Amino acid sequence: MKRSLTLLVLLAVISIISTAQVKISGTIVDIDTKGAIEFVNIALLKQDSTFVAGTSSDTNGFFEFNNIANGDYLLSATFVGYLKAYHPINGVDEDTDTGNIHLEASDIALKDVTVTANAVIQKPDRKIIIPSDAQIRASSTGVTLLRNLQLSRVIINPIANTITVPGGGGVQLRVNGVEVTMSEIVAIQPADIIRIEYHDEPGMRYNNAAAVIDYIVRRRESGGSFSMDLKDALPWVIGWGENFMSAKVNNKKSEFGVNAYWSHRKLEWTRENRETFVFPDKTLERIEKGDPTDLKDNKLNVALNYNLNEPDKYQFNAILRNNYQNTPQQYTDRRSAIYSSDNSIPLSIFDHSTWRSSNTSLDLYYQRNLKNDQLIIFNVVGTYMDSKSTRTYQERRDQDLNTDIFSSISGDKYSLIAEGIYEKKMNIGKLSAGMKHTQSYTNNIYGGNVSTDIGMNFAETYGYAELQLRKNKFSYTFGLGAMRIYNSQGDSKDDKYIFRPTLRVTYNINDNAYVRYNAHMSGYSPSLSDLNNVEQNIDSLQIRRGNPNLKTVRNFTNTVNAGYNKGMFGVELFMRYNYDHKPNMEQVFFEDGKFIRTNINHKAFHRINLETTFRLKPWKDYINLSITPGLNRYISVGNDFTHTYNNWFARGSLYLNYKKWMLGGEVFTRWNYFWGETLEIGERVHVVMATYNTGKWNVGVMMINPFTKNYSMGSKNYSSLTPNVSEVYSKNLKQVVVLNFGLNLNFGRQYKAADKRLNNDDSDAGIMSGAKK
C-alpha cells in the first residue's frame, strides 16, 4: 500500500513539472520593411511586471524562452531607434509561438542607452543611422558627426563649407523634419542626436530634392543652451573663417532661440586663359596671363526663432531671418595682360566686380496633429531681397583706354511662398498630399553703359498626392503631381503645365541588403537672370544677352540603388540616368562685329552617374574607412553641336575615434561637370584633422591641401566660334592650417520641444552679370 501511494505521488509530481515547463518563441520584425531585426532586447514579464527572463533576438530576429512555467505573461521588446513594444501572452500551458512581433521606428529619445556600434536600418524610403557612443563622443557639432558617419554620396566640403551630393546637388538639411540652414546643424550638440534619417532618393514630399538629411534630436524641458564653433586659418597666411554661435532658452511651452553665422574670405587668385575667336574672315587667338588678384567676401546670417509647442497636439513656429553678404572684390576679378596672334601690342586688362545683398524673410509655420494618425501642416514665407552689384572692365594698349565698360545693377525682389500638407498613416502604408504656390515680383534697374528698367513676374504652383504601400519584403510608392510655371516680362510670357508622376519600388532582401528602383518626371523653369531682356558687355569682343523667350524644361530620371551592410563591411551601388528635354544651354553667334552669348532651348542633355561605395570598420566604430570610385558620362545634344565627355573620379576618407580623440583625413579627386558646350573642371581637395572633445568644449586643428603646390579649378569651352581654356589657381589654399575651438554648454535643460517640418526660402536675385567667367 505504501509503495503504491509513493508511486502515485511521484507520478503526480513528474506530471506537474512536465506540464509546467513550456517554451515561448517568436520573431521580431520591422513594421515597415517586414525584415527581421537582430539584437533586440526581449524581457518576459509577469502580469504585475515582475521580471522572469531575458534574451535577445538572433540574426533572423528569432528569440526563445525555455523552461517557462504555465501562466499569463507580457513580452517587452526594445531596440534603439524603435518604440518599445508589449505583447501579452495569456493562458500559457503549452509551447507557444507568438509569430511576428512588430517594432515601429521612434521619434522619441531613448534615455540612458549606450550604443556600442553604429547601426544602419534600411526603411522603404530612407536609411536610419544610429550613431555609436564612440562617434558621438568624438564629434563636437552635427556636421562633424555627419562626417564621422561617412554616408554614401554625401560630400562635406571643408573649403566652401557645404554639404552636397555628387554633381553639386544641394542637400536639404532638417531637424526633426524641419528644413534648416547649415548654422542650425552646426549648433546641434551631438549628445542630443538620437538618429539621422538619410533620404538618398527623396519623394514628392521633398519635391524630389537631391537628398535629405534629417537629424532626429531630443529636446529638453527647461533652462537653455549656448553653443559656438569657431574655425579660422592662421591670419598671417590666409583670410579664411567659418564661425557659428547659437543660444536657446525654454519657458514652459515656449522656446526662444538665436543663431548667427559669420564667414569671411581674403584670398589671392590667378587666372590664365587661352581664347580663340573665329570671325567670318579671320581667326584671332589670345593668351591671357594674369597677376594675383584679391578676393574678399563676408557673410553674416542671423535668425531669431520662437516656438510654441503642445506635445502631440500642435506647434507654432516663427523665424525672422536676415542674410547679408558683402563682396567688395569678386572671384571673377583680375589684372592681366593679353597677347594676340595678330602681333598687336599686348592689352592690359582690369576687371573688377562687387556684390552686396540683404535677404530678409519671415517664416510662419503651424502644425496640427489630428485623430487617427493624421497630420496637417501650413507654412507661409514672405521675403524681401535688396541687392546691388557693379562691374568695371577696362582694356588699355600703351596706356590708351580702348575699352571702358561699367555697369551698376540695383535689384528689389518680393516673394511669397505658401504650402499646405496632409499626411495619414495606415496599417498598409501612408498617404500624403500637398500643394505649394510661389509668387514673386522682381525689379532690376540697370545703369552704366546700358540703362534699362526690368520688371519680372513669376509664379509656380505644385500639387501632389503620394501613396506608400507595404507587402511582405516589397514596398511601393506611387505619386501623381502637376506643376504650373508662369513668367512674364513686358510682352513676353510663358505658361507651362508639367505632369509629374513618381514610382519607387524597394525590395528588402533581408535586414542587411536591399535593392531599390526610382523613376520620376519633373521640370524646371529658366533662372530669372537668364530671362532678363537685357544685354551686358563682357569685353571688347563679346556680349551676354538675356532671353525672355526661354521655355520650361522637362526632366526624366531613373535610379537604381543596392546595398549590403553587416558587421565590419558595407557596400552601396548607385546608378542614375537623367534626361533633360530641350534644356536651357548657351548658344554663341556672330552679330554686328561681336560674339553674342545667350541661352536658348537646345535638343537634349543626358547624364549617367555610376559609383560604388565600400566601407570597412575593422575595429567597431573606432576605425572607419570609406572608398568610392565612380564614372560620370555626359552627352550634350545642341541644335548645331553634339559633345560627349567621361569623368572618372574617386573619393575616400579614414577616421579614427578613440575616447575623446578623433583623427581623420579625406581626399577628393576632381569632379568635372559638362553642360552645353562647357566643361567645368572641379577642385581637387584633401584634408587631415585632429580633434580633442570633452563634451563641453573642444579644440582641433585641420590642414587643407597638405600635399599640393596650389589649389586650382578651370573650364574648357568647345564652341565652334569662341573655344577657350581657362585655369584659376590660388597658392593661398595649400597647406592651410585651420584652428578650431568650440563650446557646448547647457543649463537646467529638461524640455522636449518639437520643431516644424517645413522651411521655404527664396534667394534668387534675378540679376544677369556680364562678368567674364
Q: What is the predicted pLDDT for the residue at 771? A: 57
Nearest alpha carbon to residue 730 among 327, 232, 241, 267: 267
Give me the residues paired with residue 375 across strands: 369, 423
Q: CA angle, corner 297, sides to 292 and 302, nearest 5?
A: 170
pLDDT tens digits along 630-677: 999 999 999 999 999 999 999 999 989 888 888 999 998 998 999 999
Q: What is the predicted pLDDT for the residue at 115? A: 43
- Helices and strands (H and E) in the chain: how many: 5, 48
Q: What is the predicted pLDDT for the residue at 393? A: 94
C-alpha cell of residue 385: 531681397
Q: CA angle, corner 618, sides to 616 and 620, nearest 5?
A: 100
Residue with cell 568624438: 138
Which of the residues in the chain have pLDDT under 70? Answer: 1-20, 32-33, 48-49, 59, 80-81, 105-119, 167-169, 208, 219-221, 236-237, 749-773
C-alpha cell of residue 62: 528569432
- Alpha-carbon span 198 to 335, nearest angstrom: 45
Q: What is the predicted pLDDT for the residue at 398? A: 86
C-alpha cell of residue 460: 509656380
Query: How long, in residues, is the chain?
Result: 773
pLDDT tens digits along 512-546: 788 999 999 988 888 877 888 888 899 999 999 98
Q: CA angle, corner 429, sides to 428 and 435, nearest 5?
A: 145
Residue 190 backbone phi and psi in degrees, to 5: -55, -35
3-class secondary structure, 655: strand
C-alpha cell of residue 666: 579625406
| Burial per residue of 267-305, b for 16 or more beta-carbon CB atoms within 10 angstroms, e otherwise | bbbbbbbebbbbeeeeeeebebebeebbbbbbbbbbbeb
- Alpha-carbon span 503 to 555, nearest angstrom: 15
- Alpha-carbon span 94 to 90, nearest angstrom: 11
> 531: part of which helix (H) or strand (E)?
helix 528-531
Q: What is the predicted pLDDT for the residue at 219? A: 64
Q: What is the value of pTM for the model shown?
A: 0.78
Q: What is the largest CA-CA distance in the chain?
A: 136
- How does strand 542-545 pair with strand 594-601? parallel
Which strands sit side by side in the sheet containing 85-92, from one edge to the other? 51-56, 41-46, 71-78, 85-92
| Burial per residue of 359-375, b for 16 or more beta-carbon CB atoms within 10 angstroms, e otherwise | bebebebbbeeeeeeee
Q: CA angle, corner 516, sides to 512 and 520, nearest 5?
A: 155
